[in-house]
């Protein structure tokens, strides 16, 4: 409704609403941290856990930025931000993919 009457305020309202939802979701981060600590204590290489956290954070921030761009009517910028986030995630995933392929090859031999 606000977008129809005051388009300039609609963007701010969208940003504030998204930020409130983000801060509300922060309450659940404790569960995620406990889970990751359990993984780290189970013997999994901490490098992979750190990469998982980075990839997840980049994905969340990229999606948030894309949503803001689309809400403000900048779909071409949103597409480029989305592509940039995907490229960063793929580049961070290369060590995990390499280790997985190495393990597969060693199992097959």
pTM of the entire predicted model: 0.66
Which tens digits make up the pLDDT trace of 33-81?
A: 788 778 778 877 778 888 888 898 899 899 989 988 998 888 999 999 9
Number of domains in the chain: 1
Q: What is the CA radius of gyration of the chain?
A: 19
- Domain extent for 48: 2-108
- pLDDT score for 66: 94
Whether 23 has a pLDDT exceeding 90, the answer reads no
DSSP letters, the chain, are -HHHH-HHHHHHHHHHHHHHHHHHHGGGHHHHHHHHHHHHHTT--HHHHHHHHHHHHHHHHHHHHHHHHHHTT-HHHHHHHHHHHHHHHHHHHHHHHHHHHHHHHHHH-
């Amino acid at each position: 409704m606000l977008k129809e009457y005051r388009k300039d305020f609609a963007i701010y309202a969208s940003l504030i609403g998204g930020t409130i939802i983000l801060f509300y979701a922060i309450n659940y981060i404790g569960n995620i941290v406990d889970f990751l600590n359990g993984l780290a204590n189970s013997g999994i290489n901490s490098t992979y856990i750190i990469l998982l956290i980075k990839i997840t954070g980049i994905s969340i921030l990229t999606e948030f930025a894309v949503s803001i761009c689309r809400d403000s009517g900048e779909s071409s910028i949103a597409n480029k931000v989305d592509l940039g986030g995907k490229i960063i995630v793929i580049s961070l995933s290369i060590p995990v993919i390499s280790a997985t392929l190495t393990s597969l090859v060693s199992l097959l031999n």
